[in-house]
Amino acid sequence: MKNLVVFAAILFSRELFIPDKFTPVFLTFIIFSLVSSAMYLLNDMVDKPLDQLHFSKKYRPIASGELPNGVVLICIFFLASASLIGAALLSSYLLYIIIGYILIQVLYTFVLKNIVVLDVLAIAFAFMLRVFAGSFVVLTPLSAWLIITTMMLALFLATGKRRCELTLLSGAAPTSHRKALLSYTTPLLDGLVFMMATATLITYSLFTFNSPELLQREFFAALLPQTLSSPKLLMATIPLVAYGIFRYLYLVFEKSEGESPEMVLIKDKPLLTAVVLWLISVIMLLFFFSV
């Protein structure tokens, strides 16, 4: 699901439905799915002793012993190799990004995830590489505000994830905690989560405000009053983003469900509805309401 952000550049540059742009980015999505799968397998294999003590992660195939380490290593090798070969065939820029992604993920798995603050920064940086990959592979310029917004969103999700992990493991023995979690406190993570939530909403608002002006199609312009004829059409999506952020905060603090942002998005119908409506709104405003 995280890999879908590779489409951000061509979506907001209004090139999503151009085959020569869409195809390379779709292949980039496949390549990132391969390499991220390899890195998740590596992380789960390294975390196996801790996951076996976790109330839910102990049922994962690697932690439960269903998937032997030898098979995992073979899968990691073939998935990573396929992603590197695919990236090399598609774009030299993409190859550099995939190599950088692997290095960051390996560093995170063995070192950075045990260092307070650097752990969430590493997660956010790996997320950012996906956005750049989708831009570099088709040489589509990226808005500076889109880059900042994506960074703030990644940090928001990462700090929310840590906040939920700390809450869920508060009654567990310290030996079952990651080293970084032992250094975090609830007030610190609360502050970081709220800070990143605010930053995400502000930077997205500024991104929409600073996006290129779009002229409305004559049919829609005739239906709307003059006061709603602003060419900054994407600003209309801000309420949906605000709701999504507020809903996620509710899930993190009231339901303690932010440990896996991807599963939260799939399982929580209000949040999923907000995300789908936001995507539909963006596509409609960029491709159908404007010229």
Q: Which of 142, 159, 179 is the last residue of a domain?
A: 142
In which residue are the tokens 């809903």 written?
247
Lowest mean pLDDT among 54-63, 166-175, 197-206: 166-175
Distance (Å, whole) CA 265 – CA 21? 28
Q: Do 179 and 124 fall into the same domain?
A: no
Distance (Å, whole) CA 152 – CA 78? 33
**pLDDT digits over 225-275, tens only?**
555 555 678 888 999 999 999 999 999 888 777 667 778 888 889 999 999
Q: What is the mean pLDDT of residues 188-194?
A: 93
What local confidence, expressed as pLDDT, does residue 97 receive? 96
| Helical axes 92-110 vs 69-90, angle rounded to 10° | 150
Q: Which of 123, 142, 161 is the last residue of a domain?
A: 142
Judged against a pLDDT cut of 90, whether residue 218 lies above it is answered with no
Q: What is the mean pLDDT of residues 87-108?
A: 96
What local confidence, expressed as pLDDT, does residue 223 receive? 53
Q: With beta carbons less than 8 A apart as the criterion, state whether 85 and 43 touch.
A: no
Distance (Å, whole) CA 2 – CA 248? 16
List of residues 6+ apart from 201 with CB closer than 8 A:
238, 241, 242, 245
Q: Do 76 and 190 fall into the same domain?
A: no
Which pTM value belongs to this model? 0.87
Q: Do 3 and 69 fall into the same domain?
A: yes
Judged against a pLDDT cut of 60, whether residue 195 lies above it is answered with yes
Share of the chain above pLDDT 70, in %: 88
Q: Do 166 and 109 fall into the same domain?
A: no
Q: Do 174 and 283 fall into the same domain?
A: yes
DSSP bridge partners of 105: none
Q: What is the mean pLDDT of residues 133-159?
A: 92
40 vs 254: which has the higher pLDDT: 40
Q: Do 84 and 160 fall into the same domain?
A: no
What local confidence, expressed as pLDDT, does residue 103 receive? 97
In single-letter form, the type of residue at position 33 comes to S
**Long-range pairs for 50-57 at CB < 8 Å and ≥24 separation?**
50/176, 50/178, 53/172, 53/173, 53/175, 53/176, 54/169, 54/176, 55/168, 55/172
Q: Which domain holds residue 194?
A: 143-291
What local confidence, expressed as pLDDT, does residue 164 receive? 85
What local confidence, expressed as pLDDT, does residue 271 receive? 93
Q: Do 99 and 186 fall into the same domain?
A: no
Q: Cα Rg for the chain, rounded, in angstroms?
A: 20
**CA count, 13 A, side-chain hemisphere, 45:** 17
Phi-psi domain of 65 (left: phi exceeds 0; alpha: psi -120 through 50; beta: other): left
Q: Which of 107, 142, 177 is the last residue of a domain?
A: 142
Q: Do 39 and 158 fall into the same domain?
A: no
pLDDT band with cut points at 50, 70 and 90 for residue 177 = low
Judged against a pLDDT cut of 50, whether residue 174 lies above it is answered with no
What local confidence, expressed as pLDDT, does residue 219 receive? 47
End-to-end Cα separation, the chain, in angstroms: 30
CATH value at residue 88? 1.10.357.140
Judged against a pLDDT cut of 60, whether residue 189 lies above it is answered with yes
Q: Do 64 and 98 fall into the same domain?
A: yes
Q: Do 76 and 165 fall into the same domain?
A: no
Helix (H, G, I), strand (E, B) or coil at 178: coil
Q: Which two tokens stand for residue 145?
A: 């505000």
Domain count of the chain?
2
Q: What is the largest CA-CA distance in the chain?
A: 66
In single-letter form, the type of residue at position 109 comes to T
Q: Do 130 and 158 fall into the same domain?
A: no
Closest CA to 189 of 158, 219, 223, 146: 158
Q: What is the mean pLDDT of residues 200-215?
A: 86
Q: Do 170 and 270 fall into the same domain?
A: yes
**pLDDT digits over 114-125, tens only?**
888 899 999 999
103 vs 53: which has the higher pLDDT: 103
